[in-house]
Amino acid sequence: MTKLFLAWRNPKTRSWTPVGTLEYKNDLYYFQYTKGAEDKEFQTLGQMTDLRQTYTSDSLFPIFKNRLLAKSRPEYGDYLDWLDIKDNKTNDLLELARSGGIRATDNLQLFPLPEKTNDGKYEVLFFSHGLSHISENYINRLNSLKKDDKLLVMRDIQNTTDSNALILRTEDDPIEILGFCPAFFINDFNELLKLNSGENIHVCVQKINLYAPSQLKLLCRFSTNWPNEFIPFNDKAFLAHSDNKT
């Protein structure tokens, strides 16, 4: 895990936009804004005010470091377990990618750049979104789910915020809504549904965390073949600004 995108949620429209990238390479951290940061409602991060600069640091930038759970916290072991990360395999970017670095005080979230697996697959892990906005019956259904149980996705075409939104649901009766796929993966997922067809898309339960906060209860895995013509995050908002390092 070497590169993450930073997404910003517009408080007025409730839509998510990629506004930056966080990358670790050659023992340095790099942050750069993307074209999505040109949104007039978006405010730059701290002292990183120039949209066209690439910022470097030998340690994780404070705005991202503050999104990590301190290793000294007594619940840190449980936290890694919820994220499905082994203690000896963890690193800052992996934790941020899996948790999203979510804080209640802002509208920012991190997510990983998908990379083709060794066997030519597109595969991402993500937590189901929007669980706090659906029926509490889903909690009972979570009790009955286990790792690798199949999930289905369906388009939410009358969604007034995003008509491309994808709902997660159980395969077996009684059918239960289990939240939404993250908005920042929606274009990828819909394109792969079109290129590979639904029967070749595999979504399943990766992990159930009944006692975790709602945003960390249901970890899912999306997997399918990576078509030769497919480019992840193929949208102008993901493009970087000029690469002038500082």
Per-domain residue ranges for the chain? 3-114, 121-225
Q: What is the DSSP annotation of 213-239?
A: -GGGSEEEEEEEE--TT--TT-SGGG-
> Given a cut of 60, is residue 246 above it in pLDDT?
no
Determine the Cα–Cα distance for residues 43 and 82; give it in Å rounded to an integer: 32
Distance CA 208, CA 202 (A): 18
Straight-line distance from the first to the last Cα atom of the chain, in angstroms, rounded to the nearest whole number: 24
In tens, the pLDDT along 199-241 reads: 999 999 999 998 898 889 999 999 999 999 999 999 999 998 7
> What mean pLDDT do residues 185-194 have?
95
pLDDT (0 to 100) of residue 158:
83
Give the DSSP H/E element, type plus range, for residue 95: helix 92-99
pLDDT tens digits for 29-86? Answer: 999 999 999 999 999 999 999 999 999 999 999 999 999 999 999 999 999 999 999 8
The 8-class DSSP code of residue 88 comes to G
* Predicted confidence (pLDDT) per residue in 90-149, tens digit: 899 999 999 999 888 889 999 999 999 999 999 999 999 887 766 677 777 888 899 999
pLDDT at res. 133: 66
Tokens standing for 156? 């939410």
pLDDT (tens digit, 9 = 90+) per residue, 136-184? 777 778 888 999 999 999 998 887 777 889 999 999 888 888 999 999 9
Q: What is the mean pLDDT of the chain?
A: 91
- Backbone angles phi and psi of 24, in degrees to 5: -125, 120
Q: What is the pTM of this model?
A: 0.91
Residue 74: CA atoms inside 13 Å, Cβ hemisphere, count? Answer: 0
Fold of 121-225: Alpha-Beta Plaits (3.30.70)
Q: For residue 128, report the phi and psi dihedrals to the nearest 5 degrees.
A: -60, 135
44 C-beta neighbours (distance < 10 Å), count: 13
**pLDDT, position 245:** 53
The one-character DSSP state at 160 is S
